Amino acid sequence: MSCVAILLIQYCFSILSEKKGSSFIWNSHYIYILSIPLAVIIGPIYEEFIFRYYISDKLFLNARKYITMIVSSLLFSIFHSPTNISSFVIYFIFGIIQSLLYKKTKNIYAPIFSHCIVNAIIIVCN
């Protein structure tokens, strides 16, 4: 249930950040600053729980681990709405790396932490 709430919040932020009104808040960096915790903390938490924990471990319980890694990484890539084949491949490879990290450590916190770090680096570089 909390994943649904987080998805709804992210959807609302995406709508707000795309609005081009004359209001002060739309012409400032407030929306950008407010979306940083969402991209760096909340997003990685729910994405890793969905794609690594639920899809890999719970949905495909009896499947081989490599198949679950590929399926969850494909879904992860599609979820991020890639604009071209190279961005699709980048998301897919990142999903595979996250799946490997989760399988090797047997701990969901390792991919969550690395996902947070990667998102933070991307925000700082942009």
What does the alpha-carbon distance between residue 109 and residue 91 come to, in Å, rounded to a whole number? 19
Residue 47 catalytic?
Answer: yes
User: What is the secondary structure of 44-100 as a DSSP string?
Assistant: HHHHHIIIIIIIIIIITTTS-HHHHHHHHHHHHHHHT--SSHHHHHHHHHHHHHHHH
CA-to-CA separations, 122 to 5, 36, 49, 115, 117, in angstroms, rounded? 25, 11, 21, 11, 9
Q: Which of 47, 73, 92, 95 is catalytic?
A: 47
Instruction: Count Cβ atoms within 10 A of the Cβ of residue 95 and give its class: 0-12 exposed, 13-18 middle, 19 or more buried.
Output: buried
Q: Which residues are catalytic?
A: 47
